[in-house]
Amino acid sequence: MLTGVTSTKDCPQPLRRVKYRDAATGKTFNFLTNRFAVPATTVAELYRCRWQVELFFKWSKQHLRIKSFFGTSENAVKTQIWTAVAVYVLVAIVKKRLGLSASLYTIMQALSLTLFEKTPINSILAETDDLTDETQNPKQMNLFDFLMGH
């Protein structure tokens, strides 16, 4: 049972603590569950699988540029994720085939900015390859120089 003031109110039922040591990494994990009949190894495996899902969504937020989902049904979410993964893979293939050194993020940014233009894709990507994330616009002031009064 949890004994904290708010935790007793929020979770009044008894919980089971499962302690698991990962043989591969040597790390020890503690899990809380309300499933008393499930073997400890199954609880640990369920949490491991859940963590993989969390890592996937973290990666997708960082790389797939999904700001929000257009629908809430399982089909809508799956369709949007698979579409974003397909775009990411296609851009990675284009990057490799054209031998571009720009990052996938930079290439995707350039493509999203020129989505409705009638510019040949290879010229957009050739210009993108010349850019690096550190490249500055010569007319743009450096923030550090501005703050230091230069």
Residue 149 lies in a domain: no
* Residue 4 DSSP symbol: S
Q: Return the pLDDT at 140.
A: 55
Mean pLDDT within 136-149: 53
C-alpha atoms less than 13 angstroms from C-alpha of 32 in its C-beta half-sphere: 6
Look at residue 31 and tell me if it is in a domain. Answer: yes
25/147 Cα distance (integer angstroms):
46
* Number of domains the chain contains: 1
Q: Is residue 15 very low, low, confident or very high in pLDDT (cuts 50, 70, 90)?
A: very high
| Whether pLDDT at 150 is above 70 | no
Residue 113 covered by a domain = no
Overall pTM > 0.85: no
Is 45 a member of any domain? yes
Q: How many whole angstroms separate alpha carbon 130 and alpha carbon 100? A: 9
CA separation, residue 97 to residues 7, 100, 102, 124 (Å): 56, 8, 13, 15
Report the pLDDT value the prediction gives residue 16, as an integer from 0 to 100: 94
Q: Which helix (H) or strand (E) holds 93?
A: helix 74-98
Q: How far apart are CA 125 and CA 141, in angstroms?
A: 26
Q: Give the model confidence (pLDDT) of 74-92 as tens digits.
A: 999 999 999 999 999 999 9
Domain that holds residue 9: 5-58
